[in-house]
Amino acid sequence: MARRKQIYEGKAKIIFEGPEPGTVIQYFKDDATAFNNQKKAVLEGKGVLNNRISEFVMVGLERIGVPTHFMKRLNMREQLVRHVEIVPLEVVVRNVAAGSLCKRLGLENGTVLPRSIIEFYYKDDKLGDPLVSEEHITAFNWANPQEIDDMMALALRTNDFLSGMFAAVGIKLIDFKIEFGRQYEGEMMRLIVADEISPDSCRLWDMETNDIMDKDRFRQDLGNVTDAYREVARRLGVLRENESAGQSGPVLVSDNGE
Ligand code: UDP
């Protein structure tokens, strides 16, 4: 079988040409990076877990009417997704203060915020993804005012869905990052949730113990990173009890999502 054409390689994923126009294949690597690429590691099994968790989340979002790029999972590490033009912004929603918000505003880690806060960061690794305002976004044409409104509304619906979904399995959603893509259909364009939603892009704390179950385990050298991701997957019911997500060998392609 001929190797598919690679379109793009990012830090944690590779995008390949899809089988039909308007589709691409998203491949989840085991690579982990933090602090703008200064810290790197290979975490065996991470890609498999994020593929499954992101599938689960995107399917759930579609069910409540939030459009996403997800079409179907192809195998352990790959999913078929809609081809989009990525909006060059990272949209962060925060419920509890952590990470850069604490540093920037001097808040104590874990402070419950008076309401959910949305922030935009300009996607540019060379600049370290700076925080930007709506003024910057519209002045530099990264998105127009209508798109900003749409992204904020979709981000809040995503936050409500994710908060409930995780709370139901004893996990607090502290914050998360999502990306949006423009999907063109003839004259029409719509914004849909793209990229991934996984413990790489969310802060997740155990409801009872506040144990960290996300990429901060890697950022802060807490160890057992994939164990924590596997526990998130297990609680969500994404992994069957006897299923190993640590396999990195050849994978079977199946078309029924199992
Ligand atoms: N985040 C992400 N990718 C980034 C930056 C942040 O997925 O490039 C996520 C991060 O995991 C957290 C949320 O966005 O869930 C808010 O991150 P923050 O701004 O606090 O940045 P950090 O402290 O992670 O640098």
Atom 25 (ligand 1): residue with closest C-alpha?
A: 100
C-beta atoms surrounding 110 within 10 Å: 13
pLDDT of 176 over the 80 cut:
yes
pLDDT of 3 over the 80 cut:
no
pLDDT at 241: 59
Q: What is the CA radius of gyration of the chain?
A: 18
CA torsion sign for 164, 165, 171, 173 is: negative
Q: Where residue 2 falls among pLDDT bands split at 50, 70, 90? A: low
pLDDT of 246 over the 90 cut:
no
pLDDT at 56: 98
Please give the backbone phi and psi of residue 40, each rounded to the nearest 5 degrees, phi first.
-135, 150
Output the average pLDDT for the chain. 94
Q: Is 101 in the pocket of ligand 1 (CB under 6 A)?
A: yes
3-state secondary structure of 158: helix
Domains of the chain: 6-84+223-236 (3.30.200.20), 85-206 (3.30.470.20)
Paired with 227 in beta bridges are none
Q: Where residue 110 falls among pLDDT bands split at 50, 70, 90? A: very high
List, for residues 195-210, the tens digit of each pLDDT value: 999 999 999 999 999 9
Q: Is 33 in the pocket of ligand 1 (CB under 6 A)?
A: no
What are the angstrom distances between the C-alpha of 152 and each of 59, 90, 180, 237?
20, 12, 11, 29
In percent, the amount of the chain with pLDDT more than 90 equals 89
Q: Is 212 in the pocket of ligand 1 (CB under 6 A)?
A: no
pLDDT at 139: 98
Atom 13 (ligand 1): residue with closest C-alpha?
A: 176
pLDDT at 244: 56
Q: Is 82 in the pocket of ligand 1 (CB under 6 A)?
A: no
Atom of ligand 1 nearest to the CA of 176: 15
Model-level pTM? 0.92
Q: Measured in angstroms, how far is the CA atom of residue 92 from the centroid of ligand 1?
A: 7
DSSP string over 176-205: EEEEEEEEEETTEEEEEEES--STTTEEEE
Atom of ligand 1 nearest to the CA of 36: 8
Burial class (CB in 10 A: 0-12, 13-18, 19+), 52: buried
Contact yes or no for 160/191 (Cβ under 8 A): no
Q: Give the distance, in angstroms, between the CA of residue 216 and the centroid of all CA atoms in the same chain.
A: 14
The preferred substitution site among 100, 131, 200 for testing ligand 1, maximizing ligand atoms within 8 Å of CB, is 100
- Rounded to the nearest 10 degrees, the angle between the axes of helix 225-236 and helix 46-63 is 30
Q: Where residue 239 falls among pLDDT bands split at 50, 70, 90? A: confident
Q: Where residue 252 falls among pLDDT bands split at 50, 70, 90? A: very low
Q: Where residue 256 falls among pLDDT bands split at 50, 70, 90? A: very low
- Rounded to whole angstroms, the Cα distance separating 43 from 29 reads 9
List, for residues 12-56, the tens digit of each pLDDT value: 999 999 999 999 999 999 999 999 899 999 999 999 999 999 999
Q: Measured in angstroms, how far is the CA atom of residue 176 from the centroid of ligand 1?
A: 7
pLDDT at 124: 97
In this structure, of 98-112, 131-145, 158-172, 230-244, the range with the lowest mean pLDDT score is 230-244
pLDDT at 4: 86
